[in-house]
Amino acid sequence: MPHALITGANRGLGLEHTRQLLERGWTITAACRNPDAADDLKALDPGDGRLVLETYDAMELGSAAALAQRVSAPIDLLFANAGMMTRETRSFGSAANERFMEEMRVNTLAPLALVEAFADQVAASEMKVIALQSSRMGSISDNDSGGAYGYRASKAALNAVGKSLSIDLKDRDIVVLILHPGWVRTDMGGPNGLMTAPESVSAQLDLIARAFKQPAMSGRFFHISGEDLAW
């Protein structure tokens, strides 16, 4: 039975990934800041031991290593999904403030720490896929509207991290996917998003299934359509 570790599993895209993978028979380690309050996540529990909730805070650099002390099974899919976007770093004139560093911590540094903590367990699995939940807003060439300084920079930096990981983990047969989920109607995406979380996640999972033993897909930045996005 394949095993996924998903961060930010308590709501939005992470919750939907957990739901759909449980439906497909996977075992899930669902990592979130406050498992006690994660009622929607707990409601997905099939009651057969396949859903395990774990505490994880992407703001804390040591959180991934601490989690790795508690999770020892091989991990077929490591999904660095947790992310944040703040208003305070959005507009020119007031974007340079400490919240910028929070976005870098959660959106860039935390996924790297997660992969460093769990690479051995991914390498020990059958599928060996790492997915980084990036954003088209991290594409420098696609930026034609400006603003969103902290979020754009943190996702562009995540893309750079993902590319290096794909090279450094290649010898261990690990495929690193850098994904844009589309503009999705979640708390972050807002009500005007172009698709629902179930639509986005089902397309992402199809793409991830295609990545099994496909080193040519590693280190690329994908739209859910399967098209490559420009950096």
Ligand X SMILES: NC(=O)c1ccc[n+]([C@@H]2O[C@H](COP(=O)([O-])OP(=O)(O)OC[C@H]3O[C@@H](n4cnc5c(N)ncnc54)[C@H](OP(=O)(O)O)[C@@H]3O)[C@@H](O)[C@H]2O)c1
Q: Which stretch binds ligand X (CB under 6 A): 70-78, 89-97, 184-192, 206-214?
A: 184-192
7: which strand partners?
A: 31
Taking only Cα atoms into account, the Rg of the chain, rounded to an integer number of angstroms, comes to 16
Interface with ligand X, residue 184, by CB under 6 A: yes
Selected from 6, 13, 30, 44, the binder of ligand X by CB under 6 A is 13
Selected from 35, 163, 183, 207, the binder of ligand X by CB under 6 A is 183
> Which lies closer to ligand X via its Cβ, residue 136 or residue 210?
136
Selected from 4, 5, 6, 8, the binder of ligand X by CB under 6 A is 8
Spatial strand order of the sheet with 3-7 comes to 51-55, 27-32, 3-7, 77-80, 129-133, 175-180, 220-223
Cβ at position 7, least distance to ligand X in Å: 6
Cβ at position 81, least distance to ligand X in Å: 5
> Which lies closer to ligand X via its Cβ, residue 13 or residue 75?
13
Distance of alpha carbon 118 from alpha carbon 113, whole angstroms: 9
Q: Which stretch binds ligand X (CB under 6 A): 10-18, 123-131, 139-147, 215-223?
A: 10-18
Interface with ligand X, residue 11, by CB under 6 A: yes
Phi, psi of 6 (to 5 degrees): -125, 130
Phi, psi of 183 (to 5 degrees): -95, 110
Interface with ligand X, residue 10, by CB under 6 A: yes
3-state secondary structure 47-109: CCCCEEEEECCCCCCCHHHHHHHHCCCCCCEEEECCCCCCHHHCCCCCCCCHHHHHHHHHHHH
> Which lies closer to ligand X via its Cβ, residue 82 or residue 169?
82
Cβ at position 223, least distance to ligand X in Å: 11
Distances (CA, A) of 41 to 18, 84, 201: 8, 19, 16
Selected from 14, 150, 162, 219, the binder of ligand X by CB under 6 A is 14
Selected from 5, 21, 51, 58, the binder of ligand X by CB under 6 A is 58
- Closest by Cα among 26, 23, 25 to 5: 26
Under DSSP, the state recorded for 11 is: S
Which residues in 110-129 contact ligand X (CB under 6 A)? Answer: none
Residues that bind ligand X (CB under 6 A): 7-8, 10-14, 32-33, 56-59, 81-84, 106, 133, 135, 180-181, 183-184, 186-189, 193
